[in-house]
Amino acid sequence: MSQTCGVLVDVPDEILPIFDKIIALTDPEFQPLVADILSMVPHDILLGIMKSKPDSKVRILECINNVDGKTKHVRYASWVKRGLMPKCLDGVDWATIMGEVEDQLDHDICWAVVASELIRAVILIERPGTDPNIRFSIQDLVDHTDPVERRNIKASGHYCYTSSINRGMKYVMENGILTEEDRPFSGCPKDIPDRQQSELSYIKDFKRLHTADEALLQLKHQPIGAAVAMFYPEFNEIGENMYRGPVLQNSRLIGLHAVSLVKAGVKNGERYIRVRSSNGENIGFKGYLDVSLDVMFAYVPTPGEETDSLAQKYFAEPSPLLRRFSYPRLFKRAEEEKRRRKSGR
């Protein structure tokens, strides 16, 4: 009796086209090119890029930075992965309801700015009749979200600190938030004034979204918080152009910057989201930037050089420029009043 052959591996249908590419590259004419690519891009990274099904050529970018008198080469693989733009976003633009753009100056408070303005926006959207001039206290979040960090002086001489939008919103869930009028922004002095016994506003909770596609669907209903990978000098100098990450030889990844998403669209076949920064009106066009949703990056370690910790942290896996999407959700009015009474405010 014959036996059925054992299955060693099931190859997913979506991976089959990759094998066609590999077979094509076995042509002797292309072997030197293949060798060059594999010498620059480790096999696991190349496989991750291929699995993402790029819709464009894959480019290897090299940024050259001078750090502490030493030359550092940081490489990225870059490609385009296109998606669909929901029709429900036609005509959606939350910029007007967001009010004036904040300027965080040299403080590490972008997360607090975004958390406060998202809460304000959802209240104005869901509770008609709310005073349109209401603003919530950035200072309240900075002073109390992380009391330990708030009391530690940084190398910059500041007492402010990096954090996340979600941590700020979690603080408001548990402790409420004061209005800007009750606790105006005064920076990050060493001495922290007591919290006044004023009326507080609460949120029920906040919702995390795992992909840009999820964020686009929710953007129909309210602005969304996110973090954008900040590459200098491109971020500061982008003006009205599409922000597509590193394009200059001296480009350097600074970290993630909290932003609010207010609008989405398509330019020349490329999807983008309009984000509101907290660096005043001198960034982008009056404080707003159009960030590509389709451009993707993966960090490619440079042979013989120390791993770049930031690039490895944020782009070890193929990733877009925007991530960490979330938004606040409100109590019903009666539930919020109950929450206030419970807090004694």
Domain containing 234 — which CATH number?
3.90.70.10
Give which of 290, 283, 293 is closest to 323, Cα–Cα: 293
| Residue with tokens 């408001």, as numbered in its chain | 172
* pLDDT value of residue 215: 97
Q: Which domain holds residue 226?
A: 87-343
According to DSSP, residue 68 is labeled: T
CA 101 to each of CA 60, 80, 283: distance values in angstroms, whole numbers, following the listed order: 36, 31, 10
Question: Which stretches of the chain score pLDDT less than 50?
Answer: 1-2, 4, 6-9
Stated as kind and residue range, the H or E segment containing 295 is strand 295-300
Q: Is residue 16 part of a domain?
A: no
Q: Is residue 278 part of a domain?
A: yes
Q: Is residue 147 part of a domain?
A: yes
* pLDDT value of residue 12: 59
Contact 152, 160 (CB under 8 A): no
Q: Is residue 233 part of a domain?
A: yes
* pLDDT value of residue 52: 86
* pLDDT value of residue 38: 67
Contacts of 53 (CB under 8 A, 6+ apart): 14, 81
Q: Is residue 62 part of a domain?
A: no
Q: Is residue 33 part of a domain?
A: no
- The total number of structural domains that make up the chain: 1
Stated as kind and residue range, the H or E segment containing 67 is strand 59-67
Q: Is residue 301 part of a domain?
A: yes
The three-class DSSP label of residue 288 is strand
Token pair of 27 as six digits? 């042509």
Contact 106, 312 (CB under 8 A): no
pLDDT (tens digit, 9 = 90+) per residue, 175-219?
999 999 999 999 999 999 999 878 899 999 999 999 999 999 999
| Rounded-to-10 torsion of CA 108, 110, 115, 121 | 150
Give dist(CA 34, CA 28) in Å, integer: 10
* pLDDT value of residue 68: 77
DSSP code per residue over 302-322: PTTS---HHHHHHHSS-B-SE
Q: What percent of the chain has pLDDT over 90?
A: 71
| Residue with tokens 């984000």, as numbered in its chain | 275
Contact 77, 45 (CB under 8 A): yes
Q: Is residue 102 part of a domain?
A: yes
